[in-house]
Amino acid sequence: MNIAIKPVGRFLLASLALSLVIGCATPATPPPTNGEEQPTYQLTIDLLGTESNFLVDSQGKLKSKAALSSADGRVSLYFNEDTMLLNKDEMPLSSISVSIDPTPTPPPPPKEAIIVGPVYDFSPEGATFNPFIMLTFGYTPEELLEGTRESNLYVGCYADGQWSMLRYKNVDTENHRVTTMTDRFTKYAVLAPVAKRDEPASEAPSTPADRVDVVYFYRTARCYSCVYAEEITQFTVETYFEDELASGRVTFETFNVEDEKNAAIVEKYGAYTSSLFFNTVRNGSDHIEPVTDIWYALGDDEMFAEVLKTRIEASLQGTE
């Protein structure tokens, strides 16, 4: 089977917009510093009525990591130490506020999806973060339509009058939470795809016996390189192997190696830290191999994607 390679130009355009989100991220340019220790001030974060204070230097750089959750546990934020916090005019932030969208009429859901729970307003709108910050939203099973697969939930951002899917996601179906990453403030909500009438959500598509499983492992404490590798891997698989993903000939999954419920698959792959594996399944037999050459392409989106695309295409040849 010949696999059609999609134009590299598409990836170049996408990579320019890729800051882990589609249509919602524009990298911030931090103000220059002279290398001297900067004076600090307190940044106040109001998370659904719960206030916390953190030290930030005069350039807008956070002096420590910050992890905070709302009183009801529905929204959590995580900032790495040294995160640059700037407003839309690229000036240091003085405050951050997260609230349930106060507008009388919340944004309507996108086509073929529903909004799960409230729409949250993150302000000041247009605030930027470098590196990315982590957002986690809780939901309850009662808020889902019957037949909705929790693993299909994702976080959407509402900007310029339309919803966009944040590309990075991690769905914790046990604790009913969806985590994503972003570098910009706007409106956010958990979204659930609505199953097509001829494709009931309660029936999982059958997975072909011969396939290529792309599996990424990570640790609870995540560095930039780990997040970058997972994001570009997911982007490459979804961009170049859309048809194979739909048919099940290619699968993509992520697992936390420190989560006890993943112990069996961690042992199966021998993955005990951030790592990527391909498992080419032929005639019911696993052929697992680590993918290590991606680490030499960190920071080079095009090279990273090309390495993965070439390796996946070669693996697929063995499943025909």
pLDDT tens by residue, 144-191: 988 888 888 999 999 888 998 887 788 888 899 999 989 999 999 999
SS (HEC) of the chain: CCCCCCCHHHHHHHHHHCCCECCCCCCCCCCCCCCCCCCEEEEEEEECCEEEEEEEECCCEECCCEEEECCCCCEEEEECCCCEEECCCCCECCEEEEEECCCCCCCCCCCCEEEEEEEEEEECCCCEEEEEEEEEEECCHHHCCCCCCHHHCEEEEEECCEEEEECCCEEECCCCEEEEEEEECCEEEEEEECCCCCCCCCCCCCCCCCEEEEEEEECCCCCHHHHHHHHHHHHHHHHHCHHHHHHCCEEEEEEECCCHHHHHHHHHHCCCCCEEEEEEEECCECCEEECCHHHHHCCCHHHHHHHHHHHHHHHHHCCC
Q: Which residue matches tokens 């307190």?
A: 42
Task: Please tell me the least confidently modeled range out of 11-15, 39-43, 186-190, 223-227.
Answer: 11-15
Residue 16 maps to a domain: no
Average pLDDT, stretch 227-256? 89
**In this structure, are strands 40-47 and 95-100 parallel, antiparallel, or unpaired?**
parallel
Average pLDDT, stretch 218-243? 88
Domain that holds residue 227: 211-317
Average pLDDT, stretch 253-265? 91
Q: What is the CATH number of the domain that holds 280?
A: 3.40.30.10
- Check whether residue 175 and residue 239 sit in a common domain: no
The reported pLDDT for the residue numbered 7 is 41
Q: What is the CATH number of the domain that holds 117?
A: 2.60.220
Whether pLDDT at 14 is above 60: no
- Check whether residue 275 and residue 149 sit in a common domain: no
The reported pLDDT for the residue numbered 21 is 39
Say what the pTM is.
0.58
Average pLDDT, stretch 132-148? 92
- Check whether residue 188 and residue 215 sit in a common domain: no
- Check whether residue 183 and residue 48 sit in a common domain: yes
More confident residue, 103 or 192: 192
Average pLDDT, stretch 300-311? 89
The reported pLDDT for the residue numbered 299 is 82
Whether pLDDT at 8 is above 60: no
The reported pLDDT for the residue numbered 19 is 37
The reported pLDDT for the residue numbered 195 is 63
CA dihedral (308, 311, 314, 320) positive or negative: negative
Residue 11 maps to a domain: no
The reported pLDDT for the residue numbered 18 is 35
CA dihedral (18, 24, 29, 35) positive or negative: negative
For 66-114, the pLDDT digits (tens) are 999 999 999 999 999 999 999 999 999 999 999 999 887 878 888 889 9
In percent, the amount of the chain with pLDDT more than 70 equals 83
How many angstroms separate the most distant Cα atoms in the chain? 64
The whole-angstrom separation of Cα 38 and Cα 194 is: 50
Residue 254 maps to a domain: yes
For 26-60, the pLDDT digits (tens) are 444 444 445 566 789 999 999 999 999 999 999 99
